[in-house]
């Protein structure tokens, strides 16, 4: 089943010329949600992971469900200031400025094999920051999966340059 049928496109959001891919319609549809989670799990059939990490915020929803299906634990990669315990952080560039993601310092066992999940990969800046952070924590990101890929923005290449497998359920041309 094509997950695109469950994804709403909103033109000119958040600014003119951007076609925003909204997965809230996929998440609220029981068939769409189940289909996307099952498909994300199937992408990695037979692979060995110790834990799933999901990037805030939609990566929590998807990653938590994937972790459940795989019988694994889940680690949230959060925006700065959201975690209550001792953290480590990684800054990354945005179009106009920078942002920071964090994890708890004890989030991963040494050499843990991690599957990284998020809803969308565009430029790959947030995902790259998550990979660098997880690596600094002593774990290894073995693969990453996304519901949507925007290939023209180069995120795949950015992660593949770090030797991270990138898989997605669908892709869209443009921004």
Q: What is the maximum span of the chain, computed from C-alpha positions, in angstroms? A: 45
Residue 126 lies in a domain: yes
Q: Rounded distance, CA 156 to CA 138, Å? A: 23
Structural domains in the chain (count): 1
**CATH number reported for the structural domain that contains residue 81 in this entry:** 3.40.50.2020
pLDDT at 175: 67
For 120, the token pair is: 């969308």
pTM: 0.96
Residue 84 lies in a domain: yes
Domain range for 107 is: 47-171
Q: Rounded distance, CA 104 to CA 81, Å? A: 11
Is position 95 annotated as part of the catalytic site?
Answer: yes
Active-site pick, 34, 56, 91, 95: 95
Instruction: Answer for the pair 53, 130: CB distance below 8 angstroms, yes or no.
Output: yes
Residue 66 lies in a domain: yes
Tens place of pLDDT for every residue, the chain, 175 residues? 799 999 999 999 988 988 999 999 999 999 999 999 999 999 998 999 999 999 999 999 999 999 999 999 999 999 999 999 999 999 998 777 899 999 999 999 999 999 999 999 999 999 999 999 999 999 999 999 999 999 999 999 999 999 999 999 999 987 6
Is position 58 annotated as part of the catalytic site?
Answer: yes
Active-site pick, 58, 78, 156, 158: 58
Residue 8 lies in a domain: no
């Amino acid at each position: 089943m094509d997950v695109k049928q469950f994804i709403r496109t909103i033109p000119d959001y958040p600014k003119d010329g951007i076609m925003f891919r909204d997965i809230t319609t996929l998440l609220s549809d029981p068939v769409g949600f189940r289909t996307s989670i099952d498909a994300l799990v199937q992408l990695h059939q037979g692979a060995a992971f110790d834990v799933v990490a999901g990037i805030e915020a939609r990566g929590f929803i998807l990653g938590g469900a994937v972790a459940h299906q795989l019988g694994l634990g889940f680690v949230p990669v959060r925006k700065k200031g959201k975690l209550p315990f001792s953290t480590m952080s990684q800054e990354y560039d945005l179009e106009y400025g920078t942002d920071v993601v964090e994890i708890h310092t004890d989030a991963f066992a040494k050499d843990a094999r991690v599957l990284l999940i998020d809803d969308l990969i565009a430029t790959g800046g947030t995902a790259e920051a998550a990979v660098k952070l997880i690596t600094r924590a002593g774990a290894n990101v073995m693969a990453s999966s996304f519901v949507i890929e925007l290939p023209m923005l180069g995120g795949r290449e950015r992660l593949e340059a770090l030797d991270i497998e990138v898989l997605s359920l669908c892709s869209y041309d443009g921004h």
